[in-house]
Amino acid sequence: MQSDLAIDLGSSNTRIFVENKGIQVDEPSVITVNVDEETVIAVGKEAYQMLGRTPDRKIAAYPITGGVISDFAMVEAMLKTFLKRVTRSSIGMPKAVICVPKGITEVEKAALVNLISSSGIRKVCIIEEPVAAAMGAGTDISSPHGSLIVNIGGGTTQIAVISLGGISVSRSARNAGNSMDEDIIKYIKKTYNMLIGRRTAENAKIQAGSVISGSVPGTYPIKGKCLVTGLPIKVDIDAEELVAPLRKTADLIISQIQDILVETPPELLADIYTDGLTLTGGTANLTGIADLIHEQTGLKVNTAAQPESCVIKGCGEAIKYIDSKPSKKGGINPIIERY
Torsion of CA 24, 303, 212, 198, to 10 degrees: 20
Whole-number Å distance between alpha carbons of 53 and 10? 23
Whole-number Å distance between alpha carbons of 135 and 145? 14
Whole-number Å distance between alpha carbons of 142 and 8? 22
Tell me the average confidence (pLDDT) per consecutive run of 10 residues in the chain, 339 residues long.
Answer: 89 95 96 91 95 90 88 93 82 84 85 88 90 95 93 95 92 93 98 95 96 95 96 96 97 97 96 97 97 97 97 94 63 56
8 Å CB contact between 136 and 312? yes
Three-class SS of residue 259? helix
Query: What distances in angstroms separate CA 71 from CA 30, 40, 62, 78, 103, one per listed residue?
Result: 12, 14, 9, 11, 20
- Domain 5-131+317-338 identical in fold to domain 139-175+246-307: yes
Tell me which H or E stretch contains 294. helix 289-297
Q: What is the pTM of this model?
A: 0.91
Q: Give the right CATH number for 139-175+246-307 from 1.20.210.10, 3.40.640.10, 3.40.228.10, 3.30.420.40.
A: 3.30.420.40
CATH of region 5-131+317-338:
3.30.420.40
> What's the pLDDT at 175?
93
Residue among 302, 248, 249, 255 nearest 279 (CA): 302
Q: Give the right CATH number for 177-245 from 3.40.50.1100, 3.40.50.360, 3.90.640.10, 3.40.50.300.
A: 3.90.640.10
> What's the pLDDT at 178?
95
- Tell me the domain boundaries of the chain: 5-131+317-338, 139-175+246-307, 177-245
> What's the pLDDT at 330?
46
Instruction: Determine how β-strand 147-152 pairs with β-strand 123-128.
Output: unpaired
In single-letter form, the type of residue at position 35 comes to V
Residues 6+ apart with CB under 8 A from 73: none
